[in-house]
Amino acid sequence: MNSQYIIRDQVREQAFGLRVSALARGAGSVAGRYLQEIRTVKKAASKSTEYARRRNRLMNLMGDDSIAVLAAAPARLRNRDVYYPYRPDSDFFYLSGFQEPDAVLVLVPGRERGEFLLFCRERDPKRELWDGARAGLEGARREHGADDAFPTADLDEIMPGLLEGRRSLFYTMGRQAGFDRRVVSWVERVRGAARSGLRAPEGFISLDGPLHEMRLHKNREEVRILRQASRITVEAHRRAMRACRPGLMEYQLEAELLHEFMRRGARAPAYPSIVGGGANSCVLHYMENAAPLREGDLVLVDAGAEYRGYASDVTRTYPINGRFSKAQRAVYEVVLRAQMEAIDAVRVGAAWRAPHNAAVRALTEGLVELGILRGAPEKLIKQESYKPYFMHSTSHWLGMDVHDVGDYKVDGAWRALEPGMVLTVEPGLYLRPDGKDGARGLDRRWWNIGVRIEDDVVVTQKGPEVLTSGAPRSVEAIQECMADAA
């Protein structure tokens, strides 16, 4: 290729050499160490193969004369010199499994010397003494399947040469302003050499379209991980129910959830946990979690574990003292009925909005039964009279992000549900004191009763698979679980 930019030759190593490591731990013999390393290599190979399949599928969608560039999420400063625990960008992790900052993934379909390039930090014994091991260039190739690996510091030297002759550049603008400017500068450098016969990409195409459509449809391995995330979350909610009692602080109940997450292998929640007692149960994204739990109130707990990069998202609402009052039970059973009807609407071929429509219908009918709304349900639905009490959508996609990627509409119409899609189903009623949010004329007995019930559901050919059904959901199951701790 006629290029003024030269990419240094890299000496490639075998992808998975089976040398026995003298540093292997936990094995009492040479044979034991050898078997241990074989298992490690097989595990790495299996993961690498899954990521390779994803990359190959994406490149097939992109076309031969294209190139894709995706930067890892930067490390984020918490305060002064303290950083947040690093969590990779979901798109980047989905395609590479690489979990270090200061990295850039490049896909070059049809490149003879390898289509998957990874720019990353080099090994640095001094920094690794402080911050932990790095994969380095060798690890990027051996453990993560990169065809070529280069130091991140060489990006500006190498990238223009990779862009030459490529018609389309798949890159999503707007995530990292500084990196956006670097990408634009590379394209401009190639365009500036047009008189030498070089061709630069004609335009930018957002990577989100093809990549997020891939992520929307989960394969069996992804569903298996989501099931495990769900099992961990279920046990955490059961633990919180058993621990709940008047006098605790909301954050103490949150601590029970976090303990169970980590005890079972989920190092972090998928999102900040919501633990809202009494009036706080009516605040949709309440996260202060700093109030006392009071006798006679409900507590709404919205919490999910993240396991191997995949999220769970579950909400349960229960009485702090372990027994529902008559009014609390009446509202709770309306929401539970709405959730069951919404889950039943999760069917292959059904419109995305079908579960929401089912929930709205059941909630509106329930509000009429409770005497909170008056009139014919169909007319009330048309007038959106339910909205002061149920103001959010019933579902969202779930996956590597708690509000996962994927379009909800296709060509202006609600998309049809397909096997492998995963969504939440979470109707609720939030009965705030009279006059708030347009909820006028509300009897005092309903004040500050906030109920949301949320589960994670996989669309399958056989019907909805509720991943989180093990968390007590009926009035009787909740009261029984809480009584076990008494």
Residues with catalytic roles: 81, 285, 302, 313, 392, 396, 403, 426, 430, 452, 454
Q: What Rg, from alpha-carbon coordinates, does the chain have?
A: 26
Q: Is 211 left (phi over 0), alpha (psi -120 to 50) or beta?
A: alpha
4: CB partners within 8 A, 6+ apart: 161, 193, 196
Separation CA 94–CA 356 (nearest Å): 29
Given a contact cutoff of 8 angstroms between Cβ atoms, the answer to whether 37 and 21 are in contact is: yes
CB atoms under 10 Å from CB of 75, counted, come to: 14
Looking only at the bridges linking them, the beta strands covering 449-452 and 274-277 are unpaired
Given a contact cutoff of 8 angstroms between Cβ atoms, the answer to whether 373 and 381 are in contact is: no
Separation CA 340–CA 135 (nearest Å): 47
Burial state string for 198-217 with b = 16 or more CB within 10 A and e = fewer than 16: bebbeebbebeebbbebbbe
Separation CA 76–CA 81 (nearest Å): 10
